[in-house]
Amino acid sequence: MNTPDPLFDLSGRVAMVTGGSRGLGYQMVKAFAERGADVVVASRKLENCKAVAAEVEAMGRRALAHSVHAARWASIDALIEAAYEHFGRIDILVNNAGMSPPMASHDVTEELFDSVVGLNFKGPFRLASQIARRMSAAGGGVIINVSSSGSLMPLPHVVPYGAAKAALNAMTRSLAAEYGPTVRVNTLSPGPFLTDIAKAWSPEQRESAGNASGRPGRPEEIVTAALFLASPSSSFVNGSLIRVDGGLPIGQ
pLDDT score at 209: 81
pLDDT score at 21: 95
Q: Is the pTM of this model over 0.85?
A: yes
Residue 251 scores a pLDDT above 80: no
Q: Residue 216 sits in a domain of what CATH number? A: 3.40.50.720
Average pLDDT on 96-100 reads 88
Secondary structure (DSSP) of the chain: -PPP-SSS--TT-EEEEETTTSHHHHHHHHHHHHTT-EEEEEES-HHHHHHHHHHHHHTT--EEEEE--TT-HHHHHHHHHHHHHHHS--SEEEE---------GGG--HHHHHHHHIIIIIHHHHHHHHHHHHHHHHT-EEEEEE--GGGTS--TT-HHHHHHHHHHHHHHHHHHHHHTTTEEEEEEEE-SB-SGGGGGS-HHHHH--SSTTSSPBPGGGGHHHHHHHHSGGGTT--S-EEEESSS--TT-
Within a domain: 164: yes
Q: Which of 146-160, 171-185, 210-224 has the lowest mean pLDDT?
A: 210-224
- Which position has the higher pLDDT, 245 or 91? 91
Within a domain: 1: no
Within a domain: 5: no
161 is catalytic: yes
Within a domain: 251: no
At residue 200 the predicted structure's pLDDT band, cuts being 50, 70 and 90, is low
Within a domain: 80: yes
Number of domains in the chain: 1
| Model confidence pLDDT, tens digit, residues 6-54 | 889 999 999 999 999 998 999 999 999 999 999 999 999 999 999 999 9
At residue 252 the predicted structure's pLDDT band, cuts being 50, 70 and 90, is very low
Within a domain: 233: yes
At residue 117 the predicted structure's pLDDT band, cuts being 50, 70 and 90, is very high
| Model confidence pLDDT, tens digit, residues 60-91 | 999 999 999 999 999 999 999 999 999 999 99
**Residues 26, 84, 161, 179: which is the catalytic one?**
161
- Which structural domain range is residue 24 located in? 14-244
